[in-house]
Structure 1
Amino acid sequence: MAVNFSCTTNFFCGYVVSFLLIVTQLGFCSVYFMFLADNLQQIMEEAHFTSNVCQPRQSLVMTSILDTRFYMLTILPFLILLVLIQNPQVLSIFSTLATITTLSSLALIFEYLIQTPHHSNLPLVANWKTFLLFFGTAIFTFEGVGMVLPLKSQMKSPQQFPAVLYLGMSFVIFLYICLGTLGYMKFGTDTQASITLNLPICWLYQSVKLMYSVGIFFTYALQFHVPAEIIVPYVVSRVSENWALFVDLTVRTALVCLTCFSAVLIPRLDLVISLVGSVSSSALAIIIPPLLEIATFYSENISCATIVKDIMISILGLLGCVLGTYQALYEMTQQTHFYMANSTRVHI
């Protein structure tokens, strides 16, 4: 009886984790759509007065010619073609190219942020609503959580993975802290959801946006790989071999269209990042792992201190999940009401 209950619990938990992993990774892909569209919009609509002399963005009043949704739909066919490539060697080339372009653009961004002048007398503490959104945004930075086990399984020496993981995460945390702090000191309350949208208008920093966008474009395929490896084999196994390739390509195309539709539906980069982080990333990164540790090692006389620590971490993650999700959804509804009100005034 106990064995059957344990097997049923493990089976159910496996499906829950797989579902959350799919939601998380597809959420990341939707965020990538928004990032690419926002940066492509700036690059295209500012091209006619971009020069070698950098102009601060605050000194110019910009009026969008085309909605960001148009740029999302423009990117869609190219991302569909990208995810149809399933050769691991080709994907590794894309990954290397994404890393090179991202690091190069980050170096130029840091070079600009450390220049003077910086804002002074900035508030050191934000209001509690901002903290709720920050929770989801911070957890979103664990977007690589779905790639941990796949990367470990591909290593020649998997036993060295913990050291690689700790080193990599420490470096990423350091970069995030420095970029966030310097960006806030440089732009203050005008800081955009993506720091690239704050860069001045000149060819140098337009190229930075382009390089970063190229890196994000190819990274899309890596984030998409996880949900595709879960969903596609499940669907293909239920059709005949003659239809396998067609169904494979169709499902991949449908998933990309789903991420694009989600981005078109809520084109607010900051709110979607917070929502994805609060809903699914918090469950995968904070809530579920401590509970799994208790369930796995409880029969091996796990210490009371470890149990208390795991429970406290899970409760913290659950509170952040509930409150962060509420605040993100509330901000989205407020934005919807704002757009509807503006549309009504224009119609009248």
Structure 2
Amino acid sequence: MSSYRPEAPPNTTKTRTVFTIDNFSSTSKLAENIGSTNTINEKDELYNPFDERNVEHPNSDAGALLHLLKSSLGTGILAMPMAFTYGGFTFSIIGTLITGLICTHCVHILVKSSHDLCKRAKRPSLTFAETAEVAFEYGPLGVRKLASFARIFVNTALVLTYFGGNSVYVYFISKSTQEVVQYYKGDEKTFVLEVYMVLLLIVLIPLCQIRVLKWLVPFSGVANVLMFGAITITLYYLFKDGVTSPNERPQVGPITDWPLFFCTVIFAMEGIGVIMPVENSMRNPQRFLGCPGILNISMSIVLSLYTLMGIFGYLKYGTIKEPITSEIPIDEVPGQMARIFIAVAITFTYALQYFVPMDIIWSSMKQSIPKSYRNIAQISMRSLAVIATVVIAAVVNNLESLIGLVGAICFSILGLMVPCIVEIVTCWDAKAFGIGYWKLIKDIIILLFAMMTLVSGSYSSIENLINPGNPETLANRYFVWT
């Protein structure tokens, strides 16, 4: 996108924002008139983006909280004991808390940067990708030419991230359903897991045709209730008959397993792609940040639950490489209910997460499709995309590797790297790094942590995937690895 024109005044025309699915896209035109400095001046401060928003289907504070909980409180909580297996007891507690605080902070700086950039660009709201684009567009002269690339990069990363995340959801849903069905049929070899994944299309394809975020609030509410129900049942079994003493578990896991620990925790807690759409859809967006704030409330709940599930799941069962519900007795009704609750809750969560990649893809292609064919084209696109996530889950069919790859590659880039880079570029000319450049130093440390997770986590996950000793991967069934 374009260029630096200091002679032209900023565009202060009031913009009407209608929040439908289109608010997830990054197709809105940036302000054409860019000032000569990145610094927020008095004129910028007079512009209040919240006053300029006119959302057609606004979310209440409760609705926003439900969406944030649902975006983060998903399959990841069931994998937390698996993460503790990699990290050991003491290391995992400390690592989970630190990682949770880092993830929350990165969301905070992304939203704060977006608010500052809205003032500079005189825009009522910005999507995730637009925030990255405007940051570079209004950043130092040397990086402004990267603005379009930043938008395309974030959009591409979002699509890949949520396709990978939804593939993990397909695995969880299918696995939970398979365990219940096989118990009642009495024959564990009746259906392989891939059959359940294919049958799941009957539910997912119609559900993913919903195109307005507000209409999914009831589904998020039901999903939260079911997930809390499943967690309650799981905790019942964790405390039933007591747990092993922490002294009997390794306090620190092998250093070679640390990358998988961080990948799993990052995957579990991140919901970065849903943040900007939810914030942009709020009736009172000024309540999103701050203390207590919608963000802090939701992440406090998520971090507490994840830490507790990891601690007691690890103390109870020790080394596990599957969702913790797989350890719950299937021959008891509560154990069956927990699996059913999880399957339904994750199905609804799938639909919420599906919004992000679908709108990005649709926004990039709808202009080339005649209006009379757009509805059928979008239905077809959404259906094919659901099928794609099922194919990914069926081909990989390895929970450790799938979670590790999505956490290492996708969420470490989107959830950690991009927010830090956006803040650095946003603050650069404004000289807003604080005393001793503490913001810059802090962002560099987070970037190094994210890079370490990206490289080491990806290597560990890929090595685990192609390990010939792992009989669960589809590749190992049909190919010989050398």
TM score, norm. by length of structure 1:
0.89
User: 2:346 matched to which residue of 1?
Assistant: 216
Kept in 1, the 8 Å contact 2:260–2:457? The answer is: yes
Kept in 1, the 8 Å contact 2:269–2:302? The answer is: no
User: 1:324 matched to which residue of 2?
Assistant: 457
- 1:61-140 to structure 2, matched below 5 A, reads 63-120=188-245, 121-140=248-267
User: 1:35 matched to which residue of 2?
Assistant: 172
Kept in 2, the 8 Å contact 1:266–1:272? The answer is: yes
Q: Is structure 2 residue 442 aligned with structure 1 residue 309? A: yes
More deviation in 277-286 or 79-88? 79-88
TM score, norm. by length of structure 2:
0.65
User: What is the distance in 2 between the residues matched to 1:341 and 1:244?
Assistant: 41
Kept in 2, the 8 Å contact 1:84–1:249? The answer is: yes
Q: 1:260 to 1:342 in 2, by over 3 A?
A: closer
User: 2:283 matched to which residue of 1?
Assistant: 156
Partner deviation per Cα, 1:124-171 (whole Å, 9 max, x = no partner):
211123211111111102332111111111211100101110111011
**CA positional deviation for 1:335:** 4.5
User: 1:142 matched to which residue of 2?
Assistant: 269
Q: 1:296 to 1:343 in 2, by over 3 A?
A: closer
**CA positional deviation for 1:96:** 1.4
Q: Is structure 2 residue 395 aligned with structure 1 residue 245? A: no
User: 2:402 matched to which residue of 1?
Assistant: 272
Kept in 2, the 8 Å contact 1:30–1:262? The answer is: yes
Q: 1:344 to 1:229 in 2, by over 3 A?
A: closer
Partner deviation per Cα, 1:177-213 (whole Å, 9 max, x = no partner):
0001100111111x24311111112112101110111
More deviation in 288-297 or 275-284? 288-297
User: Higher helix fraction: Structure 1 or Structure 2?
Assistant: 1
Partner deviation per Cα, 1:297-339 (whole Å, 9 max, x = no partner):
1111124222122111101101110110011001001058757
Q: Unmatched 5+ residue regions in structure 1?
A: 50-61
Q: SS where residue 300 of structure 1 aligns? A: coil
Q: SS where residue 41 of structure 1 aligns? A: helix
Partner deviation per Cα, 1:2-52 (whole Å, 9 max, x = no partner):
848644312111111111111111111100100011111100001256xxx
User: What is the distance in 1 between the residues matched to 2:338 and 2:430?
Assistant: 53
User: 1:194 matched to which residue of 2?
Assistant: 323
Partner deviation per Cα, 1:24-82 (whole Å, 9 max, x = no partner):
11111100100011111100001256xxxxxxxxxxxx954321111101112211111
Kept in 2, the 8 Å contact 1:192–1:198? The answer is: no
Q: Is structure 2 residue 155 aligned with structure 1 residue 26? A: no
**CA positional deviation for 1:233:** 2.3
Question: Structure with the greater relative contact order (CA < 8 A, sep ≥ 6): 1 or 2?
Answer: 1
Q: SS where residue 271 of structure 2 aligns? A: helix
Q: 1:308 to 1:94 in 2, by over 3 A?
A: same
Count of aligned residue pairs for this structure pair: 332
**Paired residue for 1:293, among 423, 436, 439?**
423
Q: 1:229 to 1:341 in 2, by over 3 A?
A: closer
Q: 1:255 to 1:143 in 2, by over 3 A?
A: farther
User: What is the distance in 2 between the residues matched to 1:5 and 1:271?
Assistant: 39
Kept in 1, the 8 Å contact 2:400–2:461? The answer is: no
Q: SS where residue 242 of structure 2 aligns? A: coil
User: What is the distance in 1 between the residues matched to 2:417 and 2:447?
Assistant: 4
Q: Unmatched 5+ residue regions in structure 2?
A: 5-140
**CA positional deviation for 1:89:** 4.7
User: What is the distance in 2 between the residues matched to 1:7 and 1:299?
Assistant: 12
Kept in 1, the 8 Å contact 2:416–2:447? The answer is: yes
More deviation in 208-217 or 139-148? 139-148
User: 1:166 matched to which residue of 2?
Assistant: 296
**Aligned partner letter, 2:347:** F
User: What is the distance in 2 between the residues matched to 1:105 and 1:341?
Assistant: 33
User: What is the distance in 1 between the residues matched to 2:162 and 2:209?
Assistant: 17
Kept in 2, the 8 Å contact 1:118–1:185? The answer is: yes
**CA positional deviation for 1:276:** 0.1
User: 1:46 matched to which residue of 2?
Assistant: 183
User: What is the distance in 2 between the residues matched to 1:245 and 1:2?
Assistant: 36
User: What is the distance in 2 between the residues matched to 1:12 and 1:143?
Assistant: 24
Q: 1:142 to 1:20 in 2, by over 3 A?
A: farther
**CA positional deviation for 1:87:** 4.5
User: 1:54 matched to which residue of 2?
Assistant: none
